[in-house]
Amino acid sequence: MDTHPAFRPLRPLPNFIFMSRWLQAPLYLGLIIAQGVYVYHFMVELWHLVTGMGTIKETEIMLIVLGLIDVVMIANLLVMVIVGGYETFVSRLQLQGHPDQPEWLSHVNAGVLKVKLAMAIIGISSIHLLKSFINAPSLDDKTLLWQTVIHLTFVVSAVAIAYTDRLTYGPPRNSFGHG
């Protein structure tokens, strides 16, 4: 029998606590279903764009395309949360050597995931802000101001998260061995 601490069976209470991580699995399955809803929404908007291309004005085309980009960015965010969160908090996916393994997954941890999520939220917020600026004539100044303040809050928060992560874990290592 292997007496290495990593292979020693857990006592009942620590084992129960450790197994509780599987309670998150249904949450990730729910996010997969939500991603399916976004795929449906994307297809509906794409169909609207294609069927109306002869009658839709350029500004509306731009808004629809920005909406499609927004859906894609949210879907990317969902993939990061589903795959990265499951790998970090529930169980390994055993993707080592798989040709489709996302590059970022090989070095994912809670800190990296937080920074990636913050950057994705900034991207999504940027698309919403751009859509608002394009629609500026139909919005009041107070709405535009608050959307800008909220976006800048996301930016400042992401910088703070990245800075805190860097203080905690040090500078990221790259493939050239610097930093």
- Per-residue pLDDT tens digits for 55-67: 998 888 988 999 9
Asked whether the beta carbons of 74 and 34 are under 8 A apart, the reply is: no
Which range marks the domain in which residue 40 is found? Answer: 11-169
Angle at the Cα of 80 from the Cα atoms of 62 and 95, rounded to 5 degrees: 130
Number of domains forming the structure of the chain: 1
Task: Please indicate, yes or no, if residue 137 is contained in any of the structural domains.
Answer: yes
Higher pLDDT, 144 or 101: 144
Task: Please indicate, yes or no, if residue 36 is contained in any of the structural domains.
Answer: yes
Query: How much helix, strand and coil, in percent to the nearest 5, is found in the chain?
Result: 75, 0, 25
Task: Please indicate, yes or no, if residue 138 is contained in any of the structural domains.
Answer: yes
The model's pLDDT over 11-21, given as tens digits with 9 standing for 90+, comes to 889 889 888 98
Q: Tokens in use for 153?
A: 């809050």
Average pLDDT score, the chain? 85
| 107 φ/ψ angles, rounded to the nearest 5 degrees | -130, 30
Task: Please indicate, yes or no, if residue 2 is contained in any of the structural domains.
Answer: no
- pLDDT reading at 179 higher than 70: no
**What is the Cα–Cα distance from 179 to 167, expressed in whole angstroms?**
13
